[in-house]
Amino acid sequence: MADQIQVARVGGAAGKLGRLAYIDWMRGLACVLMFQTHCYNSWLSPEARKSALYAWSQLLGTLPAPLFIFLAGISFAMATQRLREKGVAHNAIARTTILRGAEIYGLGLLFRGQEFLLGYPYSPWTDLLRVDVLNILGLSMMLMGVLCWVTASDTLEKSRRNAIASGLVAATLVVLATPWLWSTLRPRWLPWPLESYVNGVHTYAQPQPWLFPIFPWVAFAFVGLALGLLVFSDFAKKREAWLFAAVGGAGVIACGLSLVLDAAPVRLYSAEIYDYWHTSPQFFLMRCGVLLVVLFLVYAWCRWGWAQKGFSPIIQLGNTSLLVYWVHIEFVYGRFSILPKGQCSILKATAGLLTIFLAMVALSLLRTRWKKRKAKVLRAGPAPAAATAESG
């Protein structure tokens, strides 16, 4: 979904990645996981939901949102790094990135408005103010823009080090505060639309884990920002393969450490506050570990595997993830659902999933070709005028 920052880069050694294909592939993977989660959740009958397939489907469905937000941080780091290398002023970089984040946030509000109108009169008006993943993506970009602006220094390397350290500190503070802000320190004095951005309470009595409030979701973006700035440093580019192997190893260690800390007798939070599967720092550490392992595996697949041999539908989806996210929702959950909701067998829902996948790849290709054609026309536009001027 986070194709809001597209940056090209030429890779270094043999097996080079002409574009950061592993980012597009990882984003495309998030799209596929999102498709299967939404399709089975929307279409399967109550009986089919008792199957192991549905349980695994929904478990895999916990990955797309962290992936999208984490990759937004990496993409943000890539874009910021290139602007700094070109000598763009810190204030200009901050203004550009914050405005882009505001644009994504505005698209999130527009998306909610569209869903409300298409679902009228059945959709409640409160859905207009629901905290969704696009909202948090936009807010994450704005917060990262502020952080990079505040930590900017007189040299590129010093600015990078400051932003890496600050990103990790910000992620840690967000994660540590989450259990309290979801329980004993809830800002109940705020109107529910504002409190929902803190803990996802929406219109319910308790915060909801299926929503995307600032705490803890922006922490994934800060971790992605710190990792991205490290990956795109000159030091890392010379040792790219070894760095990604280290990233994968760090992911395994993080997963193990999560389990160790969860079983530890000493607790930072009381029993009534601690919730491993939703708000605990230990669970965030586990999810970050999984993200790092996936990042390494995808990097290896794109560099040494078959990911870039010919046309890759996964990379193609990653190029236009925002578009396919926006469109597929209406054909899975909305009024134009291609199958009856809550009434399908596993076989029928799987056929519908394949249809959605192929349709979104086709839509993505059309979008890419239209953009290329438009760019070609814009590049060719001034030529006739120049020729006319010369002939005159």
Overall residue count recorded for the chain in this entry: 392
* Separation of alpha carbons 130 and 112, rounded Å: 8
pLDDT for res 254: 98
Q: Where are the alpha helices (DSSP H) in 232-345?
A: 234-238, 240-263, 281-304, 313-319, 321-332
pLDDT for res 11: 33
Above 70 in pLDDT, residue 388? no
pLDDT for res 10: 29
Lowest mean pLDDT among 2-6, 96-100, 206-210, 255-259: 2-6
pLDDT for res 384: 47
What's the rounded mean pLDDT across residues 280-308?
A: 94
Give the residue extent of every domain in the chain. 20-52+315-376
Percent of residues, the chain, with pLDDT higher than 90: 78
Q: What is the mean pLDDT of the chain?
A: 90
Above 60 in pLDDT, residue 100? yes
Above 90 in pLDDT, residue 170? yes
pLDDT (tens digit, 9 = 90+) per residue, 338-377? 999 999 999 999 999 999 999 999 999 999 999 888 877 8
Above 70 in pLDDT, residue 385? no
The pLDDT confidence band at residue 156, using thresholds 50, 70 and 90, is confident
Above 50 in pLDDT, residue 46? yes
∠ CA 68-70-73 to the nearest 5 degrees? 110
Closest to 227 measured CA to CA, from 242, 243, 209: 243
Which residue bears the tokens 């089975």? 40
* Separation of alpha carbons 140 and 73, rounded Å: 8
- Is residue 119 within 8 A of residue 335, CB to CB? The reply is yes
- Is residue 329 within 8 A of residue 287, CB to CB? The reply is no
The pLDDT confidence band at residue 81, using thresholds 50, 70 and 90, is confident
Above 60 in pLDDT, residue 246? yes
Above 80 in pLDDT, residue 3? no
pLDDT for res 345: 96
pLDDT for res 237: 82
Listed in sequence order, the residues at least 6 apart from 26 whose beta carbon sits closer than 8 Å to its beta carbon are: 67, 71, 294, 295, 298, 318
